[in-house]
Structure 1
Amino acid sequence: MDSVIYTIGHSIHSIEAFIGLLKAAGVNAVADVRSTPYSRYQPQFNKEVLSGSLGQAGIEYVFLGDELGGRSPDKNDFENGRVVYQRLKQRPEFDLGIERIILGSQKYELALLCTEKEPLECHRTLLVSQALAEKGVLITHIHGDASLEMHDAAIQRLLKMHKIEEEDLFRSYEDQVSDAILRQERKIAYTSKNPDTDRNVEDSQGAA
């Protein structure tokens, strides 16, 4: 599988700067994986506004937050008020979303969009990109300064961040990566006092 899928966080960019980052990477389609595609503080990234701006720049837009978002309307996907990524991965909708991304990447230069600037602080990396990488998809993260980081390099940063040694007699590399992702997930995954009712505000605590 030779196609590359990009990821990007809109952060506090102007729409012009954001589109510039996409154009610099050659992206011509965006898949929005925010659970709720609206922001109190960055209205230029509200779904309808963003879709129009991207369209004017010749970039396609699709919303896949229902399938690949970092939140859930199902209280069974939460533990102690925090969403559990492994449970999101087990939802049939997640598999459908992943397949749509893979199919889309065969036609477009595709970027996954979420909110956070830092890839390692976002479910687009820990959940969606990792699921794609496990299927052999090449992932590249677009940073705010237009630099590019391969997913494997981001995972290496994550291992170092959590002081997990690469060489371990008793654990495989895959087990170490899973451990690092789980530790980071516990730091950044969406938390909710009421997972049944608060899906409608993007700027709540935790990754979108």
Structure 2
Amino acid sequence: MNTLYTIGHSNMPIDEFIQLLKQYNIQIVCDVRSHPYSKYVPHFNAEALRNALLQHNIKYLYLGKELGPRSTNPNHYIDGKVSYQLLEQSSQFQNGLQRLIKGIEQFTIALLCSEKDPINCHRAILICKNLPHDISIYHILSDSSLESHQDLEQRLVVTHFKDTATLFNTYNDLVPQAYILQSKQLAYSAQTEEEE
């Protein structure tokens, strides 16, 4: 079974970040930020990050154009916000997903975005949601532990439906609904400038 990791850089020191990648034998970091720059942690700007990773024999690949949470296509917006449901159907997103899947077959890859907690990031709520179920997905957390994507989905359901009676809803019914609710909270708005 193929495995994919994800990681959020947050405000992590670069040495700590690279140590986490090494701990899980990451060969390629796929940057899925729409804008691979940070004024708060400049060591995570694309070029600086690429150079730091190369010093440790880890490759850097930018896939934010294909798999990022923002879109230049106005058809992907509803009421000024990106719709993950529309974005995930686009040929650009699907091509990026296929490229990622092919990479996973050959390399140990970590998806990179800025959010510390994967439940608050499109890497889990948009990208991982759309990957085949035969790929094992693990989110590398800042304390160096792993959260499986199945555990993240359980956390997502609890977050959105903890007070909801499930007599008529099975867990499998609630997961897609929880993804939709979370995606609406995370979706980029044309009025904001913060990276998801």
Displacement of 1:166: 9.5
Residue 23 of structure 2 corresponds to 24
- Alignment CA distance shift 1:172-1:22 (3 Å): same
Q: Which amino acid aligns with 1:50?
A: L
Q: How many residue pairs end up in the alignment?
A: 196
Q: Contact 1:33 / 1:124 at 8 angstroms: preserved in 2?
A: yes
Residue 93 of structure 2 corresponds to 94
Aligned with 1:184 (options 177, 182, 186): 182
Paired residue secondary structure (1:125): helix
Paired residue secondary structure (1:162): helix
Residue 137 of structure 1 corresponds to 135
1:142-173 Cα distance to aligned partner (Å, 9 max, x none)? 00010001000011011111125898454443
Instruction: Point out where structure 1 has 5 or more consecutive residues left out of the alignment.
Output: 199-203
1:36-64 Cα distance to aligned partner (Å, 9 max, x none)? 11111111011111111111111011100
Counting aligned pairs with the same residue, the percent is 42
1:93-144 Cα distance to aligned partner (Å, 9 max, x none)? 1111111111111211100000100000000000001111x44321100000
Residue 109 of structure 2 corresponds to 110
Give runs of aligned pairs for residues 154-165 of structure 1, distance below 5 A: 154-164=152-162
Mapped partners of 2:172, 2:70: distance in 1? 25
Paired residue secondary structure (2:106): coil
**RMSD value, Cα:** 1.8
Q: Contact 2:33 / 2:195 at 8 angstroms: preserved in 1?
A: no
Instruction: Point out where structure 2 has 5 or more consecutive residues left out of the alignment.
Output: none
Residue 49 of structure 2 corresponds to 50
- Moved runs in structure 1, 4+ residues, more than 6 A? none
Q: Which amino acid aligns with 2:130?
A: A
Mapped partners of 1:87, 1:114: distance in 2? 21
Q: Contact 2:113 / 2:123 at 8 angstroms: preserved in 1?
A: yes
Q: Which amino acid aligns with 2:172?
A: E
Residue 8 of structure 2 corresponds to 9
Q: TM-score with structure 2 length normalisation? A: 0.94
Mapped partners of 2:64, 2:135: distance in 1? 20
Q: Contact 1:116 / 1:122 at 8 angstroms: preserved in 2?
A: yes
Mapped partners of 2:158, 2:167: distance in 1? 18
Mapped partners of 2:173, 2:82: distance in 1? 21
